[in-house]
Structure 1
């Protein structure tokens, strides 16, 4: 079980860091439109950004660890741990992107953390 929890946590961390990296890459890329007229230049602009590539790579790595975890534990046990990414994202958004964290967002995140704790105790 301990190895599986390690795999789960690595997967969650890789996914969260991947999101942060994608966000940083998209702030460099700028706002995009999804019109058919601009699709090729838009995809090129996104696909050649090293932070976007890095973020997607982290997702793939996280998926490998997630699959390893799922081979060892029940999905109903593993999946709630994915919500830890909310905690990471809330903190990173505030620290790295100066996003506003409202009291309700903070309270919701604390409730998520409590839920993960309770599920982790259920074995």
Structure 2
């Protein structure tokens, strides 16, 4: 649980990147590759301000996620990324006026409940993190072929 701040940072930067990419694609309008060089069109998309900022934010999010993965179990950290969907759905409702109907709200509620359950499972480690678990594989256990 001590890395929850980094996990939530990863989630929020992931969600922010999605919102920036959406804004960028909306500002570009309909995309057509007909009659143009596809590579030039792709570069135009990638280097449009909002899309470029969104891609850069994804890089930051991924760097944060890599740090988290070096500290906690993948099966603990990865499900938290589903909270990015929750953040995106809520912000998209307010920023882009996207639909947030009963089915989506119910799905968001299930995601939140599932994430809380996963967060509670982190307490079962008794404060032991990824570092301590991998450090507990002593060389004598590994050399003897018995890993417990």
Q: Normalized against structure 1, the TM-score is what?
A: 0.92
Which residue does 2:19 correspond to in 1?
20
Which is further off, 39-48 or 55-64?
39-48
Which residue does 1:95 correspond to in 2?
94
Which structure has the greater CA radius of gyration? 2
SS of the residue corresponding to residue 32 of structure 2 reads coil
- Structure 1 runs of 4+ with >4 Å offset: 34-38
Which residue does 2:31 correspond to in 1?
32
Greater helix proportion: 1
Distance in 1 separating the partners of 2:59 and 2:79: 20
- Structure showing greater relative contact order (alpha-carbon pairs closer than 8 Å, 6 or more residues apart): 1
RMSD between aligned residues: 1.5
Do the aligned partners of 1:29 and 1:45 also contact (CA within 8 Å) in 2?
no
Do the aligned partners of 1:18 and 1:56 also contact (CA within 8 Å) in 2?
yes
Instruction: Report how many residues are paired.
Output: 122
Q: Could you list the runs of 5+ residues in structure 1 that have no partner in the other structure?
A: none
SS of the residue corresponding to residue 122 of structure 1 reads helix
Q: Could you list the runs of 5+ residues in structure 2 that have no partner in the other structure?
A: 123-148
1:44 Cα deviation from its structure 2 partner: 2.9
**Aligned counterparts, 1:67-106, within 5 A:** 67-106=66-105
1:68-116 Cα offsets, whole Å, 9 max, x none, are 1000111000011000011101101100000111100110011100000
